[in-house]
Structure 1
Amino acid sequence: MSDDMTLGTVKYETRDRKAYLTLNRPDRLNAINEQLAREIPLAVERANDDPDVHVIILQGAGRAFCSGYDLKDFAERGMGTQDAVWDPIKDFRMMKRNTDDYFSLWRSLKPTIAKVHGHAVAGGSDIALSCDQVIMADDARIGYMPARVWGCPTTAMWVYRLGAERAKRMLLTGDTIDGKQAADWGLVLESAPAEELDARVEALADRMAGVPVNQLVMQKLMINQAYDNMGLHGTQVLATLFDGITRHSPEGRWFQGFAAEHGFHEAVKWRDSGRWIPEGGGPVPTKSDLDG
């Protein structure tokens, strides 16, 4: 039985007791816009409502899983950045809704598996790490580069998956790691050669699909409750507030102004190079600064 549908930015298909959710903005490396965020929970709900679906697989179309927020909109055009006097609760409501959209994958009654190829970075890592299981290609990359400036991972799943020391290692540098290292550290379940990624995911999904749905739901709810007992929701509230602050701090405004002036590629290049980010903000670099 097949139940295929494209919402617009998320493609939905079913076969063999599995629902396939495909982030479908390949021309933008599946970068997050408002529509994509809103459509993830719609697709998850559809899968949960289908008695023939036992397992949900999340994947990305094209060359990447998800490259994070679409910086063409959010950095260059300033979408989501308020005026100098800003309302933190307005920002919190916007970002908390996005966090809840991604976390529909974690809250889904049925198990979710992220199949990561290419990149799952910045907000894309939030989406991947919201799944119950993550399998990466060996050469795929995962990380949260906006930890250097202009972001805080709102789902907070880095610390819950890695522990404090390695979460700090990632979020105090903004570095990325490949699938092999992510699996070695326990950030993701396993990695596989790129040509074997589909088969590895299918094998795990098929194994789960043979379990009755009610059994899957009860095991998942029990495990998730342990994380809730550890304060997961409260940590996400704090992280979501901090994300808004990072984008409206003097340094965050400097980064957004840089992107608006020179394009987000140049802004990201500066941020990720380790070059000095002016504390307290400062003038946006000129073209000669970039060339130098």
Structure 2
Amino acid sequence: MGKWRTEARFVGMAVDAGVARVTLDHPARRNALSWDMLVELRAALLEADDLRAVRVIVLEGAGPDFCAGYDMQSAYARYASEAAGEGSADLYRSGSGSFDDDAWKLERFQELLRTPFTLHKPVIAKVHGHCVAGGTDLALYCDMVIAADDARIGFPATRAMGSPPNQMWFYNVGPQWAKRLLLSGDVVSGADAARIGLAVASAPATSLEEEVMTLARRLATIDAELLATNKRIVNIALELAGAGTIARLAAEMDSRAHLSRAKREFDADVAAMGFKAAARRRDEPFGDGTVRPSW
């Protein structure tokens, strides 16, 4: 299929007129991020970055959502099998391992998720439907986010499960909005995300394609080496402002959060009633969980 890619199950890619469209393509699971999907995604992004015919990359999701987070149902099923003595828990770092085991695994996931940030070519995240939890980790590693007005963007898992392991929130919205969203786990609409800086623009859902592709085609008229120059100097500024260090520490903070009483109680709910029911119970006190800024 390409220099970097082999046969893919969860990620698609097409190239036209200088724009590579990389698609999370597992709508049955709302494009939840599994290890296999992220390996395929990294390969597709590297392929697009390597192809001379590509100048800009658009990252999107198939189906009704951009990405509903990490594939926690599969993760909890794996934890349960490992706890029962099945699989290879005795050979590799398991789901019920130590603080260091947990941090190690989160760091490996983040290496894959961080790929858009490390590419030379610009990546635009086209966000619709839900972009929550791990979906925001991925979107915020892209160079720009354009969202549907009615998209829902946030990290509800901070209410009981952990902390975002990438922490690009601070760099996009500043300390107060980062705290407002992460301490509550509330979400914002795509329209409000654009107002606070979490997205560069928003558009009605019916116009999102046009909004994204207008920008992508505009950038595709520019020499790829100039695009790389200007992307990378901004990213170097982010690195000098501590983004790389914060990303490493964020994985350790997420591991710390996994040791909290709230996480133990949530895990007990998952074991008793399943992940979806546990998440509903977690979120019930927050109503629709949406921040509506006053402007």
TM-score, normalised via structure 1 length: 0.89
Residue by residue over 1:190-209, the C-alpha shift from the partner in whole angstroms, topping out at 9 and shown as x without a partner, is 11000100001000000100
| 2:170 is equivalent to residue 159 of structure 1 | yes
Residue aligned with 2:145, SS: strand
Residue aligning to 2:48: 47
- 5 Å matches for 1:110-125? 110-125=121-136
Name stretches of at least 5 consecutive residues in structure 1 with no aligned partner: 276-292
Aligned amino acid, residue 22 of structure 1? T
Q: Which residue of 1 aligns with 2:206?
A: 195
Question: Is 1:71 aligned with 2:72?
Answer: yes
Q: Gaps spanning 5+ residues in structure 2: where?
A: 81-92, 287-295
Equivalence for 2:59: 58
- The amino acid across from 1:49 in the alignment is D
Deviation at 1:82, TM superposition (A): 3.7
Question: Could you say if the C-alpha distance between residues 69 and 129 of structure 1 is closer, same or farther in structure 2, counting changes exceeding 3 Å?
Answer: same
Equivalent positions of 1:126-141 (< 5 A) are: 126-141=137-152
Find the residue that maps to 1:53 and give its secondary structure.
coil
Matches within 5 A, 1:108-257: 108-257=119-268
Q: 1:186-239: CA deviations, max 9, x gaps? A: 110011000100001000000100000100000011000110001111111111
- 1:5–1:11 Cα contact (<8 Å) kept: no
Question: Residues 38-93 of structure 1, C-alpha deviation per residue, up to 9 Å, x if partnerless?
Answer: 1221111101110110000000001100000122122455379743xx32222222
Quick one: distance in 1 between partners of 2:173 and 2:55? 28
2:100 equivalent to 1:89: yes
Q: State the AA in 2 paired with 1:129.
A: L
Q: State whether residues 115 and 201 of structure 1, in contact with CA within 8 Å, keep that contact through their aligned partners in structure 2.
A: yes
For 1:9 and 1:242, the matched residues in 2 are separated by 29
TM-score (norm 2): 0.88
Show the counterpart of 2:14: 13
Whether the 8 Å contact between 1:57 and 1:114 is mirrored in structure 2 is yes
* TM alignment of 1:98-109, pairs within 5 A: 98-109=109-120
Q: Could you list the per-position Cα deviations for residues 134-165 of structure 1 after superposition, in whole angstroms to 9, with x for gaps in the alignment?
A: 00000110000111111211111111100000
> SS of the residue aligned with 1:20?
strand
TM-fit CA distance, 1:117: 0.7
Paired residue total: 272
What SS does structure 2 have at the residue aligned with 1:110? Answer: coil
The aligned runs of 1:25-44 (5 Å cut-off) are 25-44=26-45
Partner Cα distance (1:12, 1:182) in 2: 27
Alpha-carbon RMSD: 1.9
Rounded to whole Å, the distance in 2 between the matches of 1:270 and 1:78 is 21
The percent of aligned pairs where both chains have the same amino acid is 37
Counterpart CA distance in 2 for 1:52 and 1:82 is 42
Find the aligned partners of 1:124 and 1:52 in 2 and give their Cα distance: 28
Q: Distance in 2 between matches of 1:33 and 1:214?
A: 33
Give the whole-Å Cα distance in 2 for the aligned partners of 1:24 and 1:257. Answer: 31
Question: 1:253 Cα deviation (Å)?
Answer: 2.0
1:23 corresponds to which residue? Answer: 24
**2:94–2:101 Cα contact (<8 Å) kept:** no
- Give the 3-state SS of the residue equivalent to 1:12 in structure 2: strand
Structure 2 letter corresponding to 1:150: M
